Amino acid sequence: MPDKPTWCGRLEEIAKALGELPDSWVDRPMLEQALGVGRRRAQQILAPCVTRQIGRNGLARREAILDHLRRLAAGEKAYYERRRQRRLGEQLEKLREDLLRRPRVLVEAPMAVLGQRFEGLPEGVAVVPGQITVCFGTATEALEKLLALAMAIGNDRDRFERLATVG
């Protein structure tokens, strides 16, 4: 798979960082740090712009590097990377909207539970002053009983406060 220029979206930030360097010459480690790429990729990007050698290290003028980065950013790889990022963002947004529209259901609620009253709470559910007790055998049974209790509270909040309040 070809190396995707993930740095393309930060080109202005990179130009600013390179512009703040004390020298107008850029070497591979500087480019690695600015672009957030590995050694080999930094060498590949730097190579066409090298006009000066110090030992085995190639140096390029800052302006030449920035022009080269802009050409790379405008190229085909950058186009596909931006398109991929946009599509990923759209898919994530769609998933978020779906989740908000249809929240995960912890337990299926039968229609009978909508009108739940304290008198008809399932066996093992008790509300006494300062204490709520829910006895269950399975996790699903616990969720069903908690839902019934929540619906009963929602249907008669005053009665719940009388039953649960100490003193």
Tell me the pLDDT of the chain (167 aa) as tens digits.
Answer: 345 577 888 889 999 999 898 989 999 999 999 999 999 999 999 999 999 999 888 999 999 999 999 888 877 676 777 788 889 999 999 999 988 888 776 666 677 778 889 998 999 999 999 999 999 999 989 988 999 999 999 999 999 999 999 87
DSSP H or E stretch at residue 53: strand 52-54
Q: Are residues 21 and 79 in the same domain?
A: yes
Residue 1 placed within a domain:
no
Whether residue 154 is contained in a domain is answered as: yes
- Report, in this order, helix, strand and coil percent for the chain, each rounded to 5: 65, 10, 25
Domain contains 40: yes
Pairing assessment for the beta strands 57-61 and 25-26 based on DSSP bridges: antiparallel
Task: Determine, yes or no, domain membership for 120.
Answer: yes
pTM score of the predicted model:
0.45
Is there a single domain that holds both residue 71 and residue 131?
no
Please tell me whether residues 84 and 132 are part of one structural domain: no
The number of distinct structural domains making up the chain is 2
First to last CA, the chain: 71
